[in-house]
Amino acid sequence: MKEILVVGSAALDSVKTPHGKVNEALGGSATYFSVSASFFTKVRLVAVVGNDFPRRHVDFLKKRKIDLRGLERAEGKTFRWKGSYEGDMNTAETLKVCLNVFENFHPKIPDYYRKTRYVFLGNIDPPLQLEVLKQVKKPYLVACDTMNLWISSKPQALKKTLKHVDMLVINDAETKQLSGESNLLKAARKLLKLGPRTLVVKRGEYGSMLFTAGSVFSAPSYPLESVVDPTGAGDTFAGGMMGYLAKTDDTSEANIRRAIIYGTVMASFAVGGFSLNGMKNLKRKEIRKRFLELKKLTEFTSAP
């Protein structure tokens, strides 16, 4: 079992869906990732919060045995996001964003973290992702996420970062936007030429796909009758996937495929409640049960 270093955002989210609403609940890309990954391995979190960040959230992260020595507490208010889901639960309408202390965030990687074998760069500003990579020492696997904002505003800086990345984990719309291709397969082939050896495309309720230079793998989502809150599902997926890879310390394609299924399972629990409530009381046997159910769902025999 190896540790994971994740760098990203910790936030307070206010979310409304057809199932209800929450106000200033625990959120942020690095937070969802860390909690998900913590079911598989040890996680080292680097993020920034303000002096208004509730103590109960820190206690919850510590209860998950997440290493918080990289969590910076700055003078000011914590990053806040307000959004709503209506009808299409795959897409959030952003109502308000207050970056607050996150606006001036420059990740400081503690010496103790710098030799971490697995590194995940959340969807922060591409130059900041490069700052992180300059501070770590020969990681075995670097994976990163990004978002439409950076693709449109800083495409060259993002492509510079991707030259130093082993795995890119983004959604299908971002894949097409970054590549300039409308066909997902063409888009994937184009992105693999930018540096990453592996591309994992998140497709929401339609599952995910894995692309390498010589293969394509498609995984379904876990079938659910109800999705309460999709916020953080993609980060939870990435956390479960990376957590399993670090636990097994195996980055073969066969193991990445298994890891994607575990990521899918973790996301299915996350969307079952608001904020991180879907994972708060989760048991390992429940994770394993859904993994086996997904395996059974996709099994078939060859034609005679």
List, in order, residues 6 or more apart from 219 with CB less than 8 Å away.
207, 208, 209, 210, 257, 260, 261, 264, 294, 298
Q: What CATH number does the domain containing 255 carry?
A: 3.40.1190.20
What does pTM read for this prediction? Answer: 0.96
Strand order in the sheet with 4-7: 67-74, 43-50, 4-7, 118-121, 141-144, 167-171, 198-202, 208-211, 216-219
Q: What was the pLDDT predicted at 215?
A: 96
Residue 129 within a domain? yes
| Total structural domains within the chain | 1
Q: What was the pLDDT predicted at 299?
A: 87
* Strand, coil or helix: 283: coil
Residue 20 within a domain? yes
List, in order, residues 6 or more apart from 94 with CB less than 8 Å away.
81, 82, 83
* Strand, coil or helix: 281: coil
pLDDT tens-digit readout, 51-82: 999 999 999 999 999 999 999 999 999 999 99
pLDDT tens-digit readout, 207-262: 999 999 999 999 999 999 989 999 999 999 999 999 999 999 999 999 999 999 99
Q: Which domain holds residue 193?
A: 4-298
Residue 192 within a domain? yes
Whether the pLDDT of residue 266 is over 80: the answer is: yes
Residue 303 within a domain? no
Residue 158 within a domain? yes
DSSP 47-66: EEEETTS-HHHHHHHHHTT-
Mean pLDDT computed over every residue of the chain = 96
Distance between the two ends of the chain, CA-based, in angstroms?
Answer: 41
Q: Taking a C-beta distance cutoff of 8 angstroms, is the pair 135, 158 a contact? A: no
pLDDT tens-digit readout, 76-133: 999 999 999 987 777 888 999 999 999 999 999 999 999 999 999 999 999 999 999 9
Residue 304 within a domain? no
Q: What was the pLDDT predicted at 11?
A: 97
Whether the pLDDT of residue 301 is over 90: the answer is: no
Whether the pLDDT of residue 16 is over 90: the answer is: yes
* Strand, coil or helix: 88: coil
> What number is the average pLDDT over the span 178-199?
97
List, in order, residues 6 or more apart from 154 with CB less than 8 Å away.
125, 126, 127
Q: What was the pLDDT predicted at 117?
A: 97
Residue 14 within a domain? yes
Q: What was the pLDDT predicted at 59?
A: 97
Tokens matching residue 42: 């040890």
Q: What was the pLDDT predicted at 28?
A: 97
Tokens matching residue 241: 């996937």
Residue 213 within a domain? yes
Alpha-carbon span 205 to 61, nearest angstrom: 27
Alpha-carbon span 112 to 96, nearest angstrom: 36
